[in-house]
Chains A and B, each alone.
Chain A
Amino acid sequence: MAKESDHELIQLAREGDNQAFGELVRRHQKRIFRLAVHMLRDTTEAEDVTQETFVRAYQALARFQGNSQPYTWLYRIAVNLSLNIIRTRKPRQHVTGDDDPRIESWLAVHGPSGEKDPATVNEQRELAKALCEGIDQLSDTLRTTLLLVAMDGLGHAEASEVLGCPEGTVAWRVHEARRKLRSHLSSLGLVDEKEGEP
């Protein structure tokens, strides 16, 4: 089963092969979950979105035309579901706390291994917190595009398929998001940058 491409798995699933769809789930659930966590900042909601994404995808299998990669199709559903949750939340000022799941996952990789240097841990925590704050301050449009391209590694063409916009628009959004994030980090003194310097 592992040899089949995503397109083949979709085709098999359409023909009633549930195992094929299960394989598709196993291949992509982590990426979908990571995207959802960064969009929602909540692991429980992200888990729901991940599960719901595959449910919606399964129901819409007949409408997948095969012109794009199946995972971009899954991403679009996940982004729609995440945005739906964000919009139905009561308006509140989000404050990035230490319990933010993104910070924990950051420290799992960027934290000091072996030695427990409190200063280094704190430094990394502050950096992760600042990054999370900067990302959260972006608009839904910029944040989602940045997450897809910079964090998930999608190319502009793939991101444009997910977001349904031209590649040039994706490029502009990433550029704009980076500029704002840079500016935020610079204001906190975490990066040395002078705006406009060549």
Chain B
Amino acid sequence: MSKASETDAKLDGWLGSWPVPERDESAWDELGSKLEERLSGLTIGQGEEAWLEPPLPEEPGEGDNAKLHAGGASMSEPESERPKKKSLKDFAQRVSVAPQSDGKPALSGPAADTPVPSSGPRSSSPSLRTSASFISRPPEARDSDSGILDLNAVRESSLPDTGAQPAQSDLFEEEVKAAPIPIQKKSSMAPVVGGGIVAVLALAAAAVLVLRTPQGSSPMSMAEAPAVAASAASPLATVEPDRMADKGLTAEGLSVATAPAPGEPAAAAPARAAGAADEAKSKAATDSKEEKDEPAPPTGDTKDLAGAMATAVGAGGSKKEDGPKSATPSADPGSLPETPSQGAIAGAIGSVRDAARACVAGQTEPSRATITFASNGSVSSVSVAGGAAGTPAAGCIQAALKRARVAPFKKDSFTVGVTVRP
């Protein structure tokens, strides 16, 4: 035990055993009889409510530390800056929901409700057995080129189905029932076949365009053709936006594949991925908005692939040069007003006036409060005069009015008077 704790224990002992000042029983009886006399002439419901109000003003600094002792946030890490604990759970739920959108049989019961860690579940875990079939094929791997290998698919494509079962096949019996392989094969092969067809068509189109393009045209055209073909050959990349939209998937579902940086806590990865997803979404939204604002690109020469690409690149380039339109201008210290505006003061006072009025409910005389704002816009002091002065209501008014806030200003302080009427 530390010395401070020992002293605290000693202090608690001293304070806790501090007796009531000596009084005879007759004195207590006398007090009781006096009280009875007074109460006999009183009626219930005639008192003032001020005595029932919270009595004490805030202690300076207690707002910052109260959370610590309440077992809340740590001092070095405010609540708002913490990664949301729900993010991993949300992702797990998204994983367990994904097969429904893929046309596969939906799971019911505990397996569907069980959150599954994204790092890969233990399929031997009883609670996860029924969900292991689709977990082995992560939705990210189906919808994007995320680099996640589907080992089951590799095994199925490379080995003939001889009907032989692995030594521990009993572990997977339920998953075989839950997710029939033919359905999985059908849905998993469709994008590949479709992508192959698209790739072949794209190659053919590129060849035709190259042949039709005059020799003196841009030398980039030959170099770009394979790139176009390559992008077409990647079916997941080309069909992804539409498919994702159809399935209700978002960029958030894909961003979890982002690996944490070395030294970064594992828990930070989902938050960073979610942040990246948000950024991507906002960027996409900004881009689409900007596209609406810009004039439509010329369409007369769309048959020329090189020209179309140049147009597209040019448009994209101009977009980038424009920069984000929503950039927040930084605050210029020189632009601060000398004093807060009347509107700002009225707004600040108005936001706390009701709370202050509640403090003097039941009183008849109005109270006058003088509020002093510091240059950073916060209230530095409140003094109360009038009816509430010297009563607990004064502290209540002070506490209420101290919550007022205006925008920063140049002067050291600014004082306003407020009348608080019951």
Contact = CB atoms under 8 A, between A and B. Distances in A.
Interface stretch (A1-9, A80-88, A112-120): A80-88
B55 A79 contact: yes
Contacts of A46: 21
Contacts of A56: 47-48, 51
Interface in B1-49: 2-4, 7-8, 10-12, 14-23, 28, 31-32, 34-36, 38-40, 42-49
Contact of B59 (A31, A139, A171): A139
A25 B35 CA distance: 9
B55 A164 contact: yes
B57 interface: yes
A175 to B, nearest CB: 6
Contacts of B297: none
Interface string A152-175: 010000000011111111011101
Interface in B50-64: 50-59, 62
A125 interface: no
B67 interface: yes
B66 interface: yes
A186 B47 CA distance: 46
Given A55-B39, A58-B39, A104-B22, 10 more contacts: A31-B20, A33-B21, A51-B34, A80-B392, A88-B390, A140-B56, A163-B55, A172-B68, A178-B11, A191-B7
Given A153-B16, A197-B3, A87 B59 contact: no
Contacts of B72: 168
A142 B2 CA distance: 23
A168 to B, nearest CB: 3
Contacts of B15: 131, 146-147, 150-151
B292 interface: no
A150 B11 contact: yes
29 contacts: A25-B32, A34-B20, A38-B18, A56-B48, A59-B46, A60-B52, A73-B52, A76-B51, A80-B52, A83-B395, A84-B390, A84-B391, A102-B18, A109-B17, A131-B15, A140-B56, A142-B59, A150-B11, A150-B15, A165-B56, A166-B66, A168-B71, A171-B66, A172-B59, A172-B62, A173-B59, A176-B59, A185-B11, A197-B3
B21 A34 contact: yes
Contacts of B42: 55, 58-59
Given A61-B44, A108-B19, A80 B53 contact: yes
Contacts of A11: none
A193 B19 contact: no
A56 B55 CA distance: 15
Contacts of B390: 84, 87-88
A47 interface: yes
Contacts of B2: 197-198
B190 interface: no
Contacts of A151: 15-16, 18
Sorting the interface of chain A by its residue count into under 10, 10 to 19, 20 to 34 or 35 or more gives 35 or more
Nearest to B67: A168
A150 B66 contact: no
B70 interface: yes
A65 to B, nearest CB: 10
Contacts of A38: 18
A2 B43 CA distance: 24
Given A29-B28, A47-B31, A178-B11, A59 B44 contact: yes
A163 B66 CA distance: 14
A168 B70 contact: yes
Contacts of A169: 58, 62, 66
Contacts of B282: none
A18 B32 contact: no
A105 B28 CA distance: 16
A84 B66 contact: no
Interface string A127-158: 10001000000011110111100110100000
Contact of A105 (B19, B52, B56): B19
A194 B2 CA distance: 10
Given A105-B19, A106-B18, A181-B11, A163 B56 contact: yes
Contacts of B58: 141, 165, 169
B19 A109 contact: yes
Contact of A83 (B8, B32, B56, B68): B56
